Amino acid sequence: MHPMVKPALRRGWRDLNTVQFGMTPAHALTLGPVDTATGSFLDLLNGTRGLPLLREEGQRMDLPEGHVDRLVTRLARAGLLDDARGGGAAACALREKKEVMDRLRPDLASLSLVAREPGEAIGRLAARRDLRVQVRGAGRVGAVLAALLSGAGVGEVDVLDGGCVEPWDVAPGGLPAEAVGERRTAAARRAVRRAAPDRPVRRGRKAPSEEGEPGHSLVILAPRDDIAVHAPDPSAAAELIASGTPHLYAGVVEATGVVGPLVLPGQTGCAECLHRGRTDRDETWPRLVAQWRSGRPRHVRPCDLALATTVAGLAAAHALAFLDGESPSGAGVRWEVSAPGLNWHARPVWPHPACPCGAARKPVAEDTSNEGESRETMAGQRPSSTPCRQADAARLAGTWRAHV
């Protein structure tokens, strides 16, 4: 192990004996009491020395016997320490790709803030390279979203859509102006390749079940059709429910951005649950949906550039959190934001007892969608202002979360 204090966290001294790592309430931690010699020793935790050399440096600085090991353990348990050579074989292979690493360093630094264990951040980043994600829809939301995932290190991002690129499909970070007139799928896949920090994995067109090829880790439905955004057709995701494939919805409808739900088949509410729940609350809902779908299609749908980019960014963040093993707040929830107020609101998608997806049969104690009441708006996602003596039981005494 080559320990280093996570460089993503700014460091400052609150007083002569207390050092604060990080600035924001979500990630700031304070450590104390810290004597002058230990404070100087912290500068040596930069990833260039292994533990044996650090112990020798500690002896030269007259630190007590065992002090270096106790300090390293304390910092690691507090989530403040990384391992410059950790993360396993895949992480080591990634470190050897200097140009790729230079592109991904901001992503790695961000991951280090949420990954507690030393070496875990680069391990997650390396694991992204083996993931397969499919984006269905290559409009202003879908194409940008696919490029974001590719740029963040996801190894294979495939895009599916029909027709040709129209001028109103063009968006910074997505389909370029020179792609107008080309097939949407081909243009979007080219945008994905341009965004990738490394050469994307190329696979044959065989079915995922053939020759042991893995299926998609996540499918994102980002339709250009605003009706499909507002009232997603359950049949469009039927094969995803049947195969147990997680999928996420995203799009823009009438100056309203929508992200979610993230559907975990058999665990959280799906598009069919959404449709049945709306029908229970409003018996005219099926009639309205039928009229919307049968009406004359609009030539150009309302999807302003800033809102579309906002939706693509949030959807990509939810997707990456899920792919990295976290539990994003989009599971069983539709996040909606409307102009001009631009306040995000969460609308739970409850599992419906009559839906064949079976999510309603999951025990309530394990149903993540039942947490919807505690997250009505994004404003409610701020860390609590109630002081706590320590963040969790794993932290040793003397390490606590800062309230700044």
Determine the average pLDDT of the residues in 272-280.
96
State residue 200's pLDDT score: 62
Same structural domain, 104 and 142: no
Parallel/antiparallel/unpaired status of strands 247-253 and 218-221:
parallel
Same structural domain, 146 and 289: yes
State residue 362's pLDDT score: 65
Determine the average pLDDT of the residues in 318-335.
90
Same structural domain, 38 and 71: yes
Same structural domain, 185 and 110: no
Nearest-angstrom CA–CA distance, 357 and 269: 8
Task: Give yes or no for a contact between 157 and 149, defined as CB atoms under 8 angstroms apart.
Answer: yes
Terminal alpha carbon distance of the chain: 32
State residue 211's pLDDT score: 52
- Domain limit, last residue, from 301, 325, 349: 325
Same structural domain, 294 and 306: yes
pLDDT mean across residues, the chain = 86
- Domain limit, last residue, from 125, 142, 170: 125
State residue 157's pLDDT score: 96
Confidence category of residue 296, pLDDT binned at 50, 70, 90: confident
Nearest-angstrom CA–CA distance, 244 and 265: 5
Confidence category of residue 278, pLDDT binned at 50, 70, 90: very high
- Domain limit, last residue, from 93, 125, 157: 125
Q: What is the pTM of this model?
A: 0.85
Nearest-angstrom CA–CA distance, 71 and 84: 17
Of the CA atoms within 13 Å of residue 240, those in its CB half-sphere come to 27
Q: Residue 71 domain-assigned? A: yes
Confidence category of residue 311, pLDDT binned at 50, 70, 90: very high
Number of domains in the chain: 2
Q: Is the pLDDT of residue 133 over 50?
A: yes
Q: Each residue of 227-245: pLDDT tens digit? A: 999 999 999 999 999 999 9
Percent of the chain that is helix, strand, coil (3-state, to 5): 40, 15, 40
Two structure tokens written together for 121 = 């951040």
| Domain of residue 242, CATH code | 3.40.50.720
Q: Each residue of 18-50: pLDDT tens digit? A: 999 999 999 999 998 899 999 999 999 999 999
Q: Each residue of 151-191: pLDDT tens digit? A: 999 999 999 999 999 999 999 999 999 999 999 999 999 99
Confidence category of residue 371, pLDDT binned at 50, 70, 90: very low
Q: Is the pLDDT of residue 386 over 90?
A: no
Same structural domain, 228 and 159: yes
| Domain of residue 59, CATH code | 3.90.930.60
Same structural domain, 98 and 147: no
Determine the average pLDDT of the residues in 262-269.
95
Same structural domain, 121 and 134: no
Q: Residue 273 domain-assigned? A: no
Q: Is the pLDDT of residue 374 over 50?
A: no
Same structural domain, 105 and 144: no
Q: Residue 388 domain-assigned? A: no
Same structural domain, 195 and 101: no
Same structural domain, 190 and 294: yes
CA nearest to 157, candidates 301, 320, 346: 320
Q: Residue 52: give the domain boundaries.
A: 3-125
pLDDT > 70 in the chain, percent: 85
State residue 232's pLDDT score: 96
Task: Give yes or no for a contact between 376 and 345, defined as CB atoms under 8 angstroms apart.
Answer: yes
State residue 142's pLDDT score: 97
Confidence category of residue 202, pLDDT binned at 50, 70, 90: low
Same structural domain, 310 and 191: yes
State residue 388's pLDDT score: 32
